[in-house]
Amino acid sequence: MPVTLPRLAGLAYLGIIALGLGAEVGLRMPVTTAADPAAALADALKSWRLAIGADIVMATLDVALALMLFRLFRPLGPDLALSALVLRLVQMAVIAAHLPLLVSAITATDPMPLIDRHGAGYDLGLWFFGLNALAMSVLLARAGAGWLAGLIGAAGVVYLTGSLTRFVAPEINALIQPAYLIPVVAELSFALWLLISARARTLAA
């Protein structure tokens, strides 16, 4: 297995983080937080479509990353690595399936119901990503990256808690939002670990 595989995985991971945050925070949030979302969307139509394009590229990179992580971590637990692969692919399939709602929002008189449905679909996908994170936490611990295993495991708990409360306890979901900083730090750390860690290169040797 070429030692460049962890670096490619790390670059893909950084791309996913940049595209995901850029699309949601940089491009969509000005519309979703506006007093008149329909007018804001009409004024920012190019940015809105660009965000959808970023999501499509992100989904593509996520599929590639899922396969690369499976190849890297399979020696540490084939069944667990396969479970992580499947869960990550399910997550992205659910998220991608809800992207057409953002396209339909462009021509809607009131785009917010469609945008909210997309948000719910995104959180549903993150439930499976939370399970993926728990599986990856075990694999990272077996790889000798205990500190990173702890971070990724904590991120998984945040994703699972956030997704569950979105559907069964929405009144407390807002209280959990600040905790999403943990997954940002954890996933960025994972990406950098893949890029520069000697342990990651050992996995690929």
User: Residue 116 is which amino acid?
Assistant: D
SS3 130: helix
CB of 201 closer than 8 Å to CB of 16:
no
Per residue in 28-72, pLDDT tens? 999 999 999 999 999 999 999 999 999 999 999 999 999 999 999
SS3 71: helix
Per residue in 148-189, pLDDT tens? 999 999 999 999 999 999 999 999 998 999 999 999 999 999
Segment 112-125 shows an average pLDDT of: 95
Segment 13-22 shows an average pLDDT of: 95
pLDDT at residue 3 in the model: 60
pLDDT at residue 198 in the model: 86
Per residue in 124-152, pLDDT tens? 999 999 999 999 999 999 999 999 999 99
Across all residues in the chain, what is the average pLDDT? 94
Residue ranges of domains in the chain? 4-204
SS3 195: helix
pLDDT at residue 2 in the model: 56
